Amino acid sequence: MAVGVALKFTRENAIKILKVIALSAAIGVAVGYFSFYVTMPSVSVPTTKNPSLLLAGAILLLLGLIVGALSDSLETLAVEILLGIVVGALLGFILFISPTFSPEIDIPFAEEYIFFTLRSALPLLILGGATLFVGGFFGTYAGEHMAVRSAKSPFADDAVRPSKR
């Protein structure tokens, strides 16, 4: 029964899925960039000698707050963060091997890159995930608080289309 409900394709479900994909992508892009920025700071943009882990953590925390506020529930948030980290790991890996995509450079793909990427970026992926979840937890709380206040309003629909009334 539950599976049947979950698989039921409605406009609402489609919007929910799209929302999860959008939020995961936002997390993934940030995590992917930071995994590259922290391990290859000398060639990342902006170029830096010492990558600021504190700044990366603060941005991820803020991102977690925003994603949490926009998420429907804590369960959805967990799914979004997990998906986001997978997307981030993939993006980080693509950035690591980006020179091999250049037609001007003829470098065979080295399998060591996979282990190098994992070894370099894994601590950030784990810490980033935890930071995002902490931010997301408070963000979800704020989001639910907003939703409760919004639901109390007899003019809740007004908020989206205020010109109608």
Partner 1 sequence: MEGVNRVRLDARRVARIRIALWVTLTSVSLVFVAASTMSAINYTDVAMAKLAVSPVADLNITTSNLGPSGEVTDDTVFHYVAYVNVTNPSRKDVVLQFMKYQGWIRDYYMENLTHSHVPLAFSMIVADPSFRPTDGLIAANSVKDFYCAWNLSRADNSGGFEYARDIMNFARTSLGMGWRHLEMTHYFVFMLKVTGVPSDYTGPNSSYLIELPVIRKEQVTTWP
Q: Which residues bind partner 1 (CB under 8 A)?
A: 23, 25-26, 29-30, 32-33, 36-37, 40-49, 63, 66-67, 69-70, 91, 94-95, 98-99, 101-102, 104-105, 107, 146-147, 149-150, 152-156, 158-160, 162
Got the DSSP string for 11-80? HHHHHHHHHHHHHHHHHHHHHHHHHHHHH-TTTSSS--SS--HHHHHHHHHHHHHHHHHHSS-HHHHHHH
**What single-letter amino acid sits at 47?**
T
CB of 3 vs partner 1, minimal distance in Å = 31
Start-to-end CA distance of the chain, whole Å, equals 40
Nearer to partner 1, 20 or 69 (CB): 69
Nearer to partner 1, 74 or 97 (CB): 97
Nearer to partner 1, 4 or 46 (CB): 46
Task: From 70, 60, 72, 74, select the one nearest 27 (Cα to Cα).
Answer: 60
Instruction: Name the DSSP letter for residue 100.
Output: G
CB of 140 vs partner 1, minimal distance in Å = 13
Nearer to partner 1, 7 or 45 (CB): 45
CB of 82 vs partner 1, minimal distance in Å = 18
CB of 88 vs partner 1, minimal distance in Å = 10
Tokens at residue 128, please?
């980033």
